[in-house]
Amino acid sequence: FRTVASPSEVWYLDHADNTWDVMFNYDPSTNLTSSQQALLLGGEVTMWTEHVDATNYLQWIHPRSNAVAERLWSFAQIGKATTDSDAFSDAVFKRLSEHRCRLVDRGIPAAPLGPGFCAQTYV
């Protein structure tokens, strides 16, 4: 069957131990045959609300959902997921950090990926 990957162990946003890099590093095609990979349409992240409410919802979904979106985009572009060495590259961190700053600039309180800051911040 055609399917959309939604692995609870890595792409559920309400699992606090699923950091952006863990979520980015997951390859949805792992352990699939080539014929099964052809049926993989994409993926999704999910959010349950046991640990979130209106005060922290946006911080929980950004940047982790953005990391999965980049993973899925790269998967769609090259037909396979990037390698582990690519997942932790400075380029990925830089792209996601820049996107986080764009969100903050637009008034979306996205959580930081790690140490660092946006050139323009609002308090």
d(CA 58, CA 31): 32
- Does residue 100 carry a pLDDT above 90? yes
pLDDT over threshold 80, residue 85: no
Task: Please state, in angstroms and rounded to a whole number, the distance separating the CA atoms of residues 25 and 34.
Answer: 20
Cβ atoms of 112 and 100 closer than 8 Å: yes
Average pLDDT over the chain, rounded to an integer: 84
Confidence at 6, pLDDT banded by 50, 70, 90 = very high
Handedness of CA 108, 74, 39, 9 (dihedral sign): negative
What is the pTM (predicted TM-score) of this model?
A: 0.81
Q: Which residue has the higher pLDDT, 85 or 13?
A: 13
42 vs 87: which has the higher pLDDT: 42
Asked whether 110 and 62 are in contact (CB, 8 A), the reply is yes
Residue 43, pLDDT > 70, answer yes
